[in-house]
């Protein structure tokens, strides 16, 4: 028995309440509440419950985790895993069947995002629309462009599916 491979095991009937720190792998089959900090891997087995702020290198969640998890390497939520809290880790894997609610932060993800609560693109009264300017930069230059009535941005023209429009990239901030 014992730590053949340097793993600490918290058995099913054990409850630890407080702060737990360690330099080895930890498998939770029971319950840990408070804070959990490891330089290695945390495995929460299906019977395990962790209600804590977790800071580890790797985390595999097959049980229940309520709290925020920060992992320097990876977080995986398995099919039986359930988590409520925020994840901060460069690698996150959520398997089909897992349950999760919270935010995920993998660092910078460089993707163009739609504006929040996108405007309905259609059903606009017929306003004189400016000609599509090839170098249309967004909100700022409200200079005297006589072509355009002072509009903050170019509204997207309604388009039938599959139609090819001139490729005007309007970057709205």
Partner 1 sequence: MAAMEKVSTPRSGAHTVIGSSIVIDGEISGDEDLVIQGTVKGKIDLKESLYVESSGVIEADIETANVEVSGQVTGNIAASDKVELKADCKVVGDIRAPRILIADGATFKGNVDMDVKGGK
Partner 2 sequence: MAATSGIIGRGTVVRGNLSGSGDVVVEGRLEGTVALEDRLTVESGGKVVADVQLENLIVHGEMGGDVVAAERVVISSTAKVVGDIKAPRVVIEDGARFSGSIEMDVKLPEGI
Q: Which two tokens stand for residue 104?
A: 């995920």
CA–CA gap between residue 70 and residue 59 (Å, rounded): 9
15 lines the binding site for partner 2 (CB under 8 A): no
CA–CA gap between residue 173 and residue 157 (Å, rounded): 19
9 lines the binding site for partner 1 (CB under 8 A): yes
CA–CA gap between residue 72 and residue 131 (Å, rounded): 50
Measured CA to CA in angstroms, residue 1 lies from 9, 90, 113, 165 at distances of 11, 34, 53, 69
84 lines the binding site for partner 2 (CB under 8 A): yes
Q: 83 touches which of partner 1, partner 2, none (CB within 5 to 8 A by kind)?
A: partner 2
Whose CA is closest to 83, among 61, 104, 59? 61
The binding track of 106-145 with respect to partner 2, each residue x by CB under 8 A or -, is xxxxxxxxx-xxx-xxx-----------------------
25 or 87, CB closer to partner 1?
25
Residue 33 CA to its chain's centroid (Å): 24
96 lines the binding site for partner 2 (CB under 8 A): yes
What does DSSP assign to residue 90?
S
Which 22-41 residues touch partner 1, going by CB under 8 A? Answer: 22-24, 26, 29-30, 34
165 lines the binding site for partner 2 (CB under 8 A): yes
Element (H, E) at 75: strand 69-77
Q: 13 touches which of partner 2, partner 1, none (CB within 5 to 8 A by kind)?
A: partner 1
53 lines the binding site for partner 1 (CB under 8 A): no
Whose CA is closest to 28, among 43, 39, 6, 13? 43
1 or 164, CB closer to partner 1?
1
Site residues for partner 1 per CB under 8 A: 1-3, 6-24, 26, 29-30, 34
Site residues for partner 2 per CB under 8 A: 49, 51, 64, 66, 82-84, 91-114, 116-118, 120-122, 156-159, 161-165, 167
């Amino acid at each position: 028995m014992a730590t053949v491979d340097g793993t600490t095991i918290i058995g099913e009937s054990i409850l630890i309440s407080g702060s737990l720190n360690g330099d080895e792998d930890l498998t939770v089959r029971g319950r840990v509440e408070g804070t959990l900090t490891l330089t290695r891997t945390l495995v929460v087995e299906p019977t395990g419950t962790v209600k804590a702020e977790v800071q580890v290198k790797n985390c595999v969640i097959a049980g229940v985790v309520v709290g925020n998890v920060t992992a320097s390497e990876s977080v995986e939520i398995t099919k039986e895993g359930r988590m409520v809290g925020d994840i901060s880790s460069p690698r996150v894997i959520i398997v089909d069947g897992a349950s999760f609610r919270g935010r995920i932060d993998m660092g910078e993800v460089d993707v163009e995002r739609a504006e929040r609560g996108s405007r309905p693109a259609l059903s606009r009264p017929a306003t004189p629309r400016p000609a599509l300017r090839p170098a249309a930069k967004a909100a700022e230059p409200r200079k005297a462009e006589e072509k355009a009535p002072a509009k903050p941005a170019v509204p997207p023209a309604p388009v039938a599916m599959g139609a090819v429009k001139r490729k005007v990239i309007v970057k709205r901030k």
